[in-house]
Amino acid sequence: MRKPHSLRLAGLAAATLVVIGCSGQAAVETNQLTIITTSMALDEATSLAVAEYLQTHGVEVDVQQHNAPAQVFDALEAETPEDQTVVGIVSAPQDQQVEERSVEVPDNVELIAQAPAELGFVASTSSITAANFARTVVNAEDPEKPMADACAQQTWFHPQLPEESLRVISDALAEEGCEPRFETVETLDTETYGALIEQLIVKPDTVVMLRGLDPAISDQGLETLDVETQQWPNSNIVAVSGTEVDDALVDQITDVLDVLDSEAATTLLRGYYNAQTSVSDLQFEVDDAIRYWLAQSELSDPDTVINITGDNE
């Protein structure tokens, strides 16, 4: 397991936006909180949003990363000092075997909050590739397996999909006669993510498994292939803990996760990615994007967002 590293929220310094926290809520008893999450973009962005929101309410927060959700759950079993609280924020898979598709978490952790955003995958591609795919399906030589030829022409990339999830997706595609070549993106960071999106746009017959709420789909004019995704794995962002958590702290974590529907998650990811790739002299950082998202989500008073970009009158 990779040694987790700390992602402390930095001070504002020369930031573009300043958000002043709201008051009037019940104070939490916890003074120090550690949030354990993964390196996946939405997990980290959500954790940073929760951390920023709690810090405006007087809680000192440290965010630590692991590679996978299983490692987050394992880390919650470690003993912590009495004056500290540890919470995991992670994408938890839904149980495919039950009709209501409830999330699955280990028996030794408690689910304390869940975001409504549905984190299902779609087969994303360029409009040209999508059109070629549809045309090949219509003109298939074998009407019983119309997707066979269309899928054989493509290379599908799956960034950091668990082996079990990939097997479920592959089996579901195979039932439709679609058996594409899969290639794994071993490390998904800002650079490799940007390269994947660029490849989708400029290279024909390229498909990338993206979350359906990924902002690149709408921002880059991508399309999704017409394949059946009902049986594909799905998940939700959840907050979990291995020990009892202060009720007021649970309420404030819930405040953030409750507003994280699919649209809000797309907006959060857009700001997160844009901040990481920004080359502006204004030094727009991820922390600034998080604060702005909190204000947009009415978790901070919009009147307390101060624009110090130099455009003020």
Q: Which letter does DSSP use for residue 130 in this model?
A: H
Q: Which of 31-35, 42-46, 164-168, 184-188 has the highest mean pLDDT?
A: 42-46
Predicted structure pTM score = 0.84
- CA 177 to chain CA mean position, Å: 30
170-210 pLDDT, tens per residue?
999 999 999 988 888 766 677 788 888 898 899 999 999 99
92-116 pLDDT, tens per residue?
999 876 667 789 999 999 999 999 9
What pLDDT is attached to residue 140? 83
Written as one letter, the residue type at 209 is M
- 79 falls in which pLDDT band (50, 70, 90)? confident
- 280 falls in which pLDDT band (50, 70, 90)? low
- Average of per-residue pLDDT across 248-261: 97
What pLDDT is attached to residue 48? 97
Mean pLDDT computed over every residue of the chain: 83
- 295 falls in which pLDDT band (50, 70, 90)? very high
What pLDDT is attached to residue 89? 98
217-246 pLDDT, tens per residue?
999 999 999 999 988 999 999 999 999 899
Contact assessment for residue 141 and residue 147, using Cβ atoms and an 8 Å cutoff: no
- Average of per-residue pLDDT across 309-313: 40
What pLDDT is attached to residue 257? 98
As a whole number of angstroms, the distance between CA 67 and CA 242 comes to: 19
Q: Which letter does DSSP use for residue 230 in this model?
A: T
As a whole number of angstroms, the distance between CA 78 and CA 158 comes to: 32
What pLDDT is attached to residue 238? 97
Question: Is residue 226 helix, strand or coil?
Answer: coil
As a whole number of angstroms, the distance between CA 241 and CA 249 comes to: 12
Q: Which two tokens stand for residue 283?
A: 């030094």
Contact assessment for residue 148 and residue 178, using Cβ atoms and an 8 Å cutoff: yes
- Average of per-residue pLDDT across 12-24: 37
What pLDDT is attached to residue 15? 33
Q: Is the pLDDT of residue 304 over 60?
A: no
As a whole number of angstroms, the distance between CA 185 and CA 239 comes to: 27
